Amino acid sequence: MNNESFLSISSVSLFVSFTLLLLAIIPLGLAVKSKGGLITKIGMVIAYLAFILQISYFLLRWMAVGHAPVSNMYEFMTFFGIMLHGAFLVIHFIYKQTMIGLFSIPITLLIIGYGSAFSNEASPLLPSLQSNWLAIHVITVAASSAILSIAFVMGLMYLLRTIDVHQRSVQSICLEAVFYSLMIVCGFVVSSISFNLFYTPVTMQINNIEEAAQTVTYTMPPIIVNELAEIKDTGGIWEIPNTIDARKLTTILWSFIAGTIIYILVRLGTRKSIIQLVKPFTQKANPLLLDEIAYRAILIGFPLFSLGGLFFAMIWAQIAWGRYWGWDPKEVWALITWLFYAALLHLRLSKGWEGGRTAWLSIIGFGLIVFNQVFVNLVIAGLHSYA
């Protein structure tokens, strides 16, 4: 088979695995509500089949492109989602907690769905990416981020299990805000697919960061533009400095708009908050066990992130750009993320910050990971903007 065949089969494998994960939610949800062992086994068999297909996608795409498929946003976010699902399967094997899948699988679907909104075309690597250290660095970062994301899932479940979601409090409002943020990701996927189907792209000339004219194509209706090179009348569109990628920022704004609409429709349709809808699925959860899993996930994920996000990244930076550290936005936020999890472990070990405090810190840590992988990559101009 040729490379095109491998790419085609890998795409089909990923799509089928995505569908299987959607289907797996049904028996896993029923298993939480019942005591039937058979329905649990059905759900887990589907989950394992989905993971096998995900690994098939990864290996087939690697064979097709000739390098580890982690060099752009589509490939990285897809691999991130695969690693998160794999982490759930490992945890289920150890702890036999089926209900974790009800929360981890939707997050996995959101991550893979987010990645699928980007181009999946196989293109040659840029010179700075042609290094084995790229694969080592990115794969380690994705794996560590996935393990740390398990702590986020455990934190959500812990707080849903222990907080009175029917009482309006600071904690319940903040927890609802977390689920609203997940709706924003849904909004990105929905808006990207919708505009790809029904919107005709618009091309305009702008001044890029080097003050040179550059042609930019908007795949979504432009809300924000950079300084225009030819047209001085923006027609009411907000114009911003060229240090920010206005096209990508427009994408984020449309994600907020679509996600907010989805959130409002869910609230109006159910007459309940999101946390009230999902809390019943955590009633059988043991808070102490959830806290233990979150802590162990951080103990594993943090040193792995230290290797991939800092040590391996510095080696690759030296090879690609001739320096170990350059205060690029991506590097700065990787350091901030590392310092945050270091502080989390310090507070837990020395100050006894367990339970709810660890849960909230795990959620904030996941927010830092998402901010670094999404917002910094897409909006802030830097050496990692190729992604």
Residue 284 structure tokens: 């059988």
Residue 118 structure tokens: 């980007």
Residue 225 structure tokens: 């533009």
Provide the H-helix boundaries in the chain. 3-33, 37-65, 73-95, 99-116, 132-162, 170-198, 246-270, 274-278, 287-305, 312-321, 329-351, 356-370, 377-378
Q: What angle do CA 81, 82, 85 make, to 5 degrees?
A: 85
Q: State how far the alpha carbon of 135 is from the alpha carbons of 57, 312, 364, in Å.
A: 17, 10, 27
Contacts of 102 (CB under 8 A, 6+ apart): 25, 28, 29, 32, 281
What residue type is 201 in one-letter code? P
- Name the pTM for this structure: 0.88
How far apart are alpha carbons 278 and 67 in whole angstroms? 41
213 strand-pairing partners:
207
Query: What pLDDT is stored for residue 13 in this prediction?
Result: 94
Residue 386 three-state SS: coil
Tens-digit pLDDT profile for the chain (387 aa)? 677 788 889 999 999 999 999 999 999 988 887 766 888 899 999 999 999 999 999 999 998 888 888 888 889 999 999 999 999 999 999 998 888 999 999 999 999 988 888 877 777 666 666 778 888 888 999 999 999 999 999 999 999 999 998 888 999 999 999 999 999 989 988 888 888 888 888 887 766 555 566 777 888 888 877 666 555 545 546 666 666 677 778 888 899 999 999 999 999 999 999 999 999 999 888 999 999 999 999 999 999 999 988 888 888 888 877 777 777 888 888 899 999 999 999 999 898 888 899 999 999 999 999 888 877 776 665 555 545
* Count of beta carbons in the 10 Å neighbourhood of residue 1: 10
